[in-house]
Amino acid sequence: MSYLETTAQFYAEAAETPQEGLCCVSTPPLQLPGLKIPEIMQQMNYGCGSTVHPTELFGEPTVLYIGVGGGIEALQFAYFCRQPGGVIAVDPVIEMREAATRNLQSAAKENGWFNPEFVQILAGDAFALPMPDASVDVVAQNCLFNIFEPEDLQRALSEAYRVLKPGGKLIMSDPIATRPIPPHLQQDERLRALCLSGALSYEDYIQHLIGVGFGQIEIRARRPYRLLDTQNYNLDEPLLLESLDSVSFKVPIPVDGACVFTGKTAIYAGQEAMLDDGAGHLLQRGIPVAVCDKTAANLAKNFPSNLMMITESSWYYSGGGCC
């Protein structure tokens, strides 16, 4: 069996015998007014972090969700889309599609606003999405792409890019590794399926996104996810995994490189009321301006630190500033 087949088999079992905490959840599920998440969906919450960011979901977007799991995030997206077929969820594992269908029918009994037709569940996989080019506003995946080996990750990201409309958003939540995961763990297919051994470093993860053409990437959260200890994982040193929530925009990559926002700000500390850096950025004295990492680096290089303070990445950016 290939590791992808092992993964599919693993999730077929996880669909038939729900395992709470299978994929360690470090945040409670997003609660919204009038939304009741059935118990079974909470037990089958196999994601890390969240891909449902209310600020990204204005204007009744069409959402393509890859790897439906128990349907918890499909239901949360449907809360915002509220139209038949507004959420299209794709999964190659028939047992998982059936479980999600049952769970969404339970959700309809508990949520007067929800019609199961709001979520269309389709057979398909991340490498061949059953959608035309440039047809959806949002693609989301939670805790699936980290399982893929790098070439497969590149294929899955290219597929997501293909189906997004220009300006559309790829919203992801995945584990990342604070140092390279050793080969003996990477090759363990069960650990990979469990989202414990396929994670890339932060830098590699971002480079994969840029590599398929995303011109702007925004980080929404970065937090500890799991510790792989020395005894159980045969390691010299414990290895911390983090979870990373991101939103990547299908916009052209600027000539000087992609804009990656990690929550840095630039603060002009000179004597003038305003500073024009000559590269399109106007900074008012003493007022923090959100900047992408590229602009932060350029400002730090071009101005002395007593004139320009650059704050650390907060790993939370939700718009504004300049680039």
Ligand X SMILES: C[S@@+](CC[C@H](N)C(=O)[O-])C[C@H]1O[C@@H](n2cnc3c(N)ncnc32)[C@H](O)[C@@H]1O
d(C-alpha 33, C-alpha 55), whole Å: 15
**Residue of the chain from 87, 89, 96, 290 that contacts ligand X (CB under 6 A):** 96
**Span near ligand X by CB under 6 A; candidates 89-97, 175-183, 231-239, 311-319:** 89-97
Residue 36 or 294: the one with the smaller Cβ distance to ligand X is 36
Q: Which amino acid is at 13?
A: E
Residues contacting ligand X: total by CB under 6 A: 26
Q: Is 125 in the site for ligand X (CB under 6 A)?
A: yes
Is residue 50 a contact point for ligand X (CB under 6 A)?
Answer: no
92 in contact with ligand X (CB under 6 A) = yes
Q: Residue 252 is which amino acid?
A: P
Which residues have a Cβ under 8 Å from the Cβ of 251 and sit 6 or more positions away?
Answer: 166, 167, 214, 215, 216
d(CA 38, CA 103): 7
- Given a contact cutoff of 8 angstroms between Cβ atoms, the answer to whether 229 and 235 are in contact is yes
In the complex, minimum distance from the CB of residue 268 to ligand X, in angstroms, rounded to a whole number? 42
Residues from 135 through 154 that contact ligand X (CB under 6 A): 142-144
Phi/psi at 306 (nearest 5 deg)? -75, -15
- Cα–Cα distance measured from residue 231 to residue 38, given in angstroms and rounded to the nearest whole number: 37
* Least distance between ligand X and beta carbon 144 (Å): 4
Is residue 189 a contact point for ligand X (CB under 6 A)?
no
Cβ neighbours for 49, distance < 8 A, ≥ 6 positions apart: 26, 27, 142, 173, 221, 223, 243, 244, 245
Residue 74 Cβ, how far from ligand X at the closest point, in Å? Answer: 9
68 binds ligand X (CB under 6 A): yes
170 binds ligand X (CB under 6 A): no
| Site residues, ligand X (CB under 6 A) | 4, 7-8, 11, 23, 45-47, 66-70, 72-73, 90-93, 96, 125-126, 142-144, 195
